[in-house]
Structure 1
């Protein structure tokens, strides 16, 4: 606070805290009253606490401006008790002895915001200096010849303090508009003079607590980071990172420092996370055994990891700026363009791509590409690839081996002369058919067929003619049955037809008769000498919910064939096997 200049010399002595302590003229009498000096008008009521020594309350009230509300206490202890419950703009202490100065010190500590005025009844420099040291802003000589001047000084003092408080409130309101912490600091002591709402909220200190602090109280112990960046501690012990800025300013003819802070704790945390992620990605990129390629939507490479560069037989640096087209054969450029187009439309793509090694041989890569957007920058894509050359070669070799195995299996189950199923294939198929028939009511039927008079053909015309007849007989037999029925040659001139899901015995008889008719037609094997009369005998076994084994079924059919041959050939014999339960019922 600045000293109020005396308008003229008078009988009243006024000493302000800001004046030199050794000024002997501090208690000099003012010989004249201020010309035209009226008590400054107070625009609103102010509360003043009077603390009287041996002076009466009436005397204290008489010297105070009439516009103030006065509360009087005789002892400093009573005044301190009142300060705990009430707020006062000024405290007037009347001190006549050194012991009264102790009360001044306690009042100054308890009411730092109030104007503290000490009235002395004698011009004792020792008391004056002690009062100023205890915290008094003004020391006045009382009583004096001009009480009007005393009231004027007190009123002006109150007005100045209240004006400053209003200015401080206006400044505080202005500072509170900023969303970041702001402080006004005293350049000499670095003590905070004001703190805005953002500072109080972030740090958790009240305005009164900030008033007793300096920036050093906020700093976290330890090495300081980069210039302008500091680690601070909040009231609850939380550690935050702030970016500081300050500038000089002149306010009310006084130089101050404006200190601002921006909480960058979350920002720094995100930066650290990004840096850690970037470091992990760089390590993954450099040490990954898989292939990683970074490129744009046009297919222009910007980075290739060492594994991919080594697989292509090229330095990684030389691949930067290379087009994906240049890594593949010219015939695959359209495929690459289509893949990039799908990537731009859907954000990802995958497939199999053949690329060329620097020595010219091709590699098969299985790839997966994903599109990324980095803020406002252009989109980029990352392709992850795996070398499938050896795997595809092994797969092709396996497929070829499987095809070869399948071919061998077919040969093992096929009659070489006629192309029909052989005995092995017949028994495999018949075994499954027997299992399936046990849950059905339809008939499982085996036709055992033998060519009539085949031996004379071999003996008379040779084995070539016999083989031709066997092939022709097999072809006609295949044409006479359904596509799903099995036709097999099980040896010599013996054939078997396996049929499933025939509805009844009548149907079985019709099929047997049809086969006899088809096989009795002549076989023209080329030329007059190779026309043979047809003919065959058939043994038939039909069963419902069959309980016999495949070999037993074939044996029953063979028995029926034998009966057909014994009856004069060119005929069939049928054995219908009932389910086990019905067979037992019929036997009883």
Structure 2
């Protein structure tokens, strides 16, 4: 036995005790890995293959059985051995039923026993895998057999299994077959004899030979039966192959009752049959072949193949005549020409035979595959066109089969993965690398499960990073249930994302002053209130209005008013902290948001500083080079985020109005009581 990879699932002390015997010499080499608990072991088993799992738990109860079931469900091909605190036959049977292969007691953990138990358990698992593989191979051969086949129970005549060609030949579905007996498809007299055998308790084996069957439509079929015992399906199971010989039997009966026995088959065959001499002279040709060439049988008899094929194809025909004479048989493809000069492609198989006079002739059978070859060429052309289109598209297209191997990739995807070499035929993990593969595996698994998945990922780093949008589309089989693979279409959306971010930024910025606009300010205010609520901190909202702004607009024009607003915004930014939020809500209304104030006096100092700063004249371009305005401010204070954003704005606006009523160029704020309730006392 080769190296055995073992996963020990136990506590530190128990794991050491179990691992120690495995380090000895002699027998297989054991590569050991530890996991401290069942959950970690399940995760590890999903990542790597371990031929054996030794589960050492301090308890021997339902929890231990549940652990075995969980690990067996994750890794059904791993041999699970339990090292139990106690061991009895009942617990051992429950363990085996849950998925374990063996159980030994803690007192038996020593090199000879443990190594023997693991070796036997791994051998049994390998044997089981081999049996399952052989069963799958047998089932495949069963389903691919070109003749109807079934398995039935010789005691009850019940069908146990049928292949696809049997279902097509007899017209019954698989479920219908499995609900029937062999007698149900026999002719009435034969069915009665079978049933009487079963009633008498006699074996109902199908002797080899010819039998008459009846299909679902009531048509009688003559079949040649061969049967043998198949223990794989049970001690009384019989495997039957039923070759439909209805046409053959009819032909044989015709041969037996008529001297035209060969002529009937020859003339009525849908295939092309001809007999010619070694020199290529046609001695016989059936009507189907003559009709395919656009001629009558009479016109063709005695003609040379070389003349029928035409000058351009004579070398090809002459080579065929030399091969058949030398080898005794020949098969392949031959181009022929119809009466109107059209070339056809025949697939033939010809053989020498001696007639009753002992003269060597050539008998051949052929099929016209012109249409089939044309369809193949059209398919190849279609595939070429699709690849050309796929390679010309800016989309990155790749097809991954159900085993996650890349089966197709267009040029755009190859360029994306140009550092990975050729991608087709490789596993997706090798193409993407472990980190990228792990990031995208959950999406791929959803698609393989049948879900259409759309997601985005970043490719590259720094300035060269690109945003990729991927769409995963499952490809299903004919039944519509099995997913054969996944089509992945990816497009570079970096420019789109950058434009979205730019537009998102513009939507939150005032175009005139470069400050936040009303939308951007509301987002920042909501976030600040949430932080104040979490931290129990004091938050101040200053609502500002430029005094006498309308007078500047009316006197000097809107251009001067815009210049004043820009200058006002600049001076405002110079007088507050970099962490404070400044916004223009519209017109001449501005706001300042100050977080984490130490006390109310801080807000008062900021407001006083702003009032003083705005009293200084503003120098503007144009005729109105110097203008004097001022600012009125309303301040809303909120501790612990107890006020909503609209409540703070309403309160600050009210206090701003109070400041204007007091003569402008001043500020008003509401006191904040110790309990955090917003007051209405203005100062």
State the TM-score bracket (shorter-chain normalisation): 0.3 to 0.5
Q: TM-score, normalised by structure 2?
A: 0.34
Greater RCO structure (CA 8 Å; 6+ sep): 1
Q: TM-score, normalised by structure 1?
A: 0.39
